[in-house]
Amino acid sequence: MNENRFYNFKKTITNKEYGKYWTAAKKTFDIDFKNNSFVNKGSRNYFPEIYDPKFDDNDLLDVNFENNEDKKILKLGTKNLCLLKKSKNRTLIYAQDYLKSIDSCLKEKDIVCEVGSGSGLLSALVNEKKKTTNILIDIPDVLLTAISLIFTLFPNKVFLLPNEIKELSLPINFNQYDFIFLTPDMTHYVQNESVKLGINTQSFMEMDMIEVDNYLNYFEKIILDKDYFFCSNRIRKRHYFFEYKFYLLKNFKKVFLKKNQFFYSSPNLSSMLDFLLKKDMNLNKKSINFSFFEKIIILSKFKPKEFLRWLIWDFQRLFKKINTMKNIFS
């Protein structure tokens, strides 16, 4: 049944463009769902491994930080998951780190909306622990990753896929589902002031800025008063972290802005910041702004090697522009 639903959605996917970065990056995804399990056939892999007793423990990373007996395996839903050391994929580890940061914001039966859900692992962890309703929004080619993974982990949960929404009468009662999967052109199906926690991790940094603006406006509308928005993105990728227009989140206040522990624990990973904000209608439309001093503090959180790499890149771009101008006027 789930396999048919997966393919029915996959058949609806067109070659629609979604911003400069993801129009190109979506070509690296090729996801299948066979024998009730996800299958990755693309060059980009967001999936963890399903544990096989034949694996050598020496080839596995620690992924379970709650269990002192077997740190190599994390049980999630119906599967035991693990990560091979040779893989560059660390999603299973940092998704747990994100869960720690947002755990206190959640209780059972809350509605959670994650934009740029990627693998779907964070939403899966949240649902497993809190029995929440999880809305996952992503471009179709990537959404197949989350759908196939969550189908694999939770085959008996209640799902709603993008192509199935047209069959329903409006407004949709999202509380009757465990997981709702939406594409970016379907965000209007989520009612205003219905979401307890909005999430964006590692995807604002890859979007066109107009897309980031639209999603910040979106979160401002759908998040309930006294509830939260969590953002974790690199200090710099396509944009600087402080360039995001958080002031579009009217009536939100800062709870914390801090280094992401997992990403700063490894010298090979990028500088990532975690930002938690709380909606408070009593603030009388006060907006989030970063002062000049706060921007300097954010820049100071760059890892030295990463800062140097960006500095070299900026100088190379500058010299290229200067040479171009010289050629034009020579």
Asked whether residue 67 carries a pLDDT value surpassing 80, the answer given is no
> Computed from CA positions of residues 104, 107, 113, 114, in that sequence, does the dihedral angle turn out positive or negative?
positive
Tens-place pLDDT, residues 270-324 = 999 999 999 999 887 677 888 899 999 999 999 999 999 999 999 999 888 888 8
Res 321: pLDDT: 86
Asked whether residue 97 carries a pLDDT value surpassing 70, the answer given is yes
In a domain, 52, yes or no: no
Q: How many domains does the chain fold into?
A: 1
In a domain, 11, yes or no: no
Encoded tokens for 85: 């050391």
Given pLDDT bands bounded at 50, 70 and 90, which one contains residue 70? confident
In a domain, 12, yes or no: no
Res 68: pLDDT: 66
Give the CA distances from residue 227 to residues 195, 223, 254, in Å, rounded to whole numbers and listed in that order. Answer: 8, 7, 12
Report CA Rg, the chain: 21
Asked whether residue 30 carries a pLDDT value surpassing 80, the answer given is yes
Range of the domain at 209: 21-27+93-290
Res 267: pLDDT: 85
What percentage of the chain reaches a pLDDT higher than 90?
A: 83
Give the CA distances from residue 115 to residues 169, 197, 323, 324, in Å, rounded to whole numbers and listed in that order. Answer: 24, 11, 41, 39
SS3 236: strand
Tens-place pLDDT, residues 241-285 = 999 999 999 899 999 999 998 999 888 899 999 999 999 998 876
Res 79: pLDDT: 97
Q: 97 and 67 in contact (C-beta within 8 Å)?
A: no
Which residue in 206, 212, 233 sits closest to 20, CA to CA? 206
In a domain, 152, yes or no: yes
Query: In the predicted model, what is the mean pLDDT of residues 121-150?
Result: 97
Res 169: pLDDT: 84
Res 274: pLDDT: 97
In a domain, 285, yes or no: yes
Mean pLDDT of the residues in the chain:
94
pTM of the complete model: 0.94
In a domain, 219, yes or no: yes
Encoded tokens for 213: 């603006």
What percentage of the chain reaches a pLDDT higher than 70?
A: 99
Res 7: pLDDT: 96
Q: Can you give the CATH number for the domain in which 206 is found? A: 3.40.50.150
